[in-house]
Structure 1
């Protein structure tokens, strides 16, 4: 079997568990297996590797399961004006969207952690515990730098909604995240060698269907034919448009933003980016019947006579 990303992440954790330095170990392993080490974002943040070296992958999987349970409980409480069936379907969709955490191997994928943390942050927004959402996003950025995109979106939305305290808090999270990324970049640069492989870059230009295709390949929707899976992914967005939750607008902006991000920048090898939208994306399936009912009601509603 060819050497892959998961093998790399597990090898890194195993070696730093014996006392090896993270950046020296990671760049050496990536170099030896013909992985690029430049630019700096080709090297993952050390958070997950140190956690795995300290607690072991089995305990980290338990932690992910606990995090999923927390997110499910929070969504169950925060979905407003929803039927019992919609609440049950939303929780089932959340669990289905978190299917990766049931695999001991996929626990090593940084995007899985970031996606579940963002899902938790989204449900906490607009509530009394909104500050816990900031903590969740800070943790998500520590796992995967792309999570800073959600932090930037939250800042923009908070400013637009004139939430002064939240805007300042999000500004602080972004500053902290940017400082962490800058430190990471400097440490990666110090460990790289002039002849190290260089990444092809981020400009895949795969188009708006790329995120749907990737979602159909990495989620439980992969059990279906690709076109059917992509259709369900689209229906989930329709469901979010009718969802009875306060977070509906920012969720649609977040998912729409990642659709653009993946369509423009992600190459086919970056299919795992879409994991950052899971399980949030699939929760929208719970509200598809509501959306279709609303569309039918609007289409059949009597229209005033032009005369």
Structure 2
């Protein structure tokens, strides 16, 4: 844990406005940070982890009812590329109807539904708060992400003795703006790439905290000022690893483009305007999943 404290910036949400500079520096330099005093009760985090484990243990035929709204938003079965990984998903967790559909697909009990509903509301509000604070850290006072869809994914890694040392999920960036990760409190494996050296930094679990990382939308929206971090999951030990990810994606219909305040002679506009949906489809069609697709929307690329 000592090594992580040196490498993973920690942002105290109870310490604003004093944390604005630290947040901006973390997002510009490395693209990730750990959040403490985030306001989500520890009991709710524990209850949600319990519910997630039970949902991921459901029979395959039940999990397959969790169908896509957009590609990759429903059940993801183990594949040739990521054979140790599977996930369940919910698109637009701010929608009570979408949450109800997700619970119905998986035959969630009344207790499980209550936990999922409480968690979805709390984590969505946190995502909006983080997006707003990030804009403010850049000198932009605006409620720019209020209507953005927020996707939810619960992940299971089936690590065995034979797979120790192998990759659980390939190197990638997230396509959206920011991701909030509730890690497995016991099993590590997440690694983030240092953008300067290309080496990977282990991210050890720190119970009670939440990990935040920035994706491709943040890099484009900020005119390249913010870092979209590459990351992967490695199998460190023979155990089941479970994590919960919330993705604040991007605007539903409006284009993503840098605000005028972030464009000047020293920082010319880098990217053509595009919608999140256009970019998501570009990543899927090109199979460029580690940030390289941004090069395809650069001005004069």
TM-score, normalising length from structure 2?
0.32
Ranked by relative contact order (alpha carbons within 8 Å, sequence separation 6 or more), the top structure is 1
Larger helix share, 1 or 2: 1
TM-score, normalising length from structure 1?
0.32
Larger strand share, 1 or 2: 2
